[in-house]
Amino acid sequence: MEGLMDILADTTDPVVYSILLFLFTTIATLALPLPVEMALFFNLEQDVYSKAAMVAGGKAAAAIIVLRIGNLVNRLMSSRMMRTSLAKMFVQFCNWMVVKFHYAGLYFILSIPLMVDTVPVYLWGIFNEEGVIRAVPFAYVNFLAGVNRVLIIMMIFELYGIKVVA
User: Which ranges constitute the DSSP H helices of the chain?
Assistant: 2-10, 14-31, 48-80, 85-110, 118-126, 135-159
pLDDT in tens, 88-119: 777 778 788 888 888 998 899 888 888 788 88
Report pLDDT for 84: 65
For 149, the domain range is: 2-159
The pTM assigned to this predicted structure is 0.82
For the chain, the average pLDDT equals: 83
Report pLDDT for 54: 92
pLDDT in tens, 122-145: 888 888 776 788 889 999 999 999
Whether 68 maps to a domain, the answer reads yes
Report the interhelical angle of 85-110 vs 135-159 (nearest 10°). 60
pLDDT in tens, 66-94: 988 887 887 776 666 556 677 777 777 87
Report pLDDT for 79: 61
Residue pair 140/60 in contact by the 8 Å Cβ criterion: yes
Rounded Cα distance between 153 and 51, Å, is: 12
- Does the pLDDT of residue 41 top 80, yes or no? no
Structural domain count of the chain: 1
Closest among 58, 37, 46 to 17, alpha carbons compared? 46
Rounded Cα distance between 37 and 18, Å, is: 14
Mean pLDDT value of segment 62-67: 92
Reduce the DSSP state of residue 130 to 3 states and report it: coil
- Does the pLDDT of residue 43 top 70, yes or no? yes
Whether 165 maps to a domain, the answer reads no
Q: Please, which residues have CB within 8 angstroms of residue 95's CB and are 6 or more apart in sequence?
A: 127, 128, 129, 130
Whether 166 maps to a domain, the answer reads no
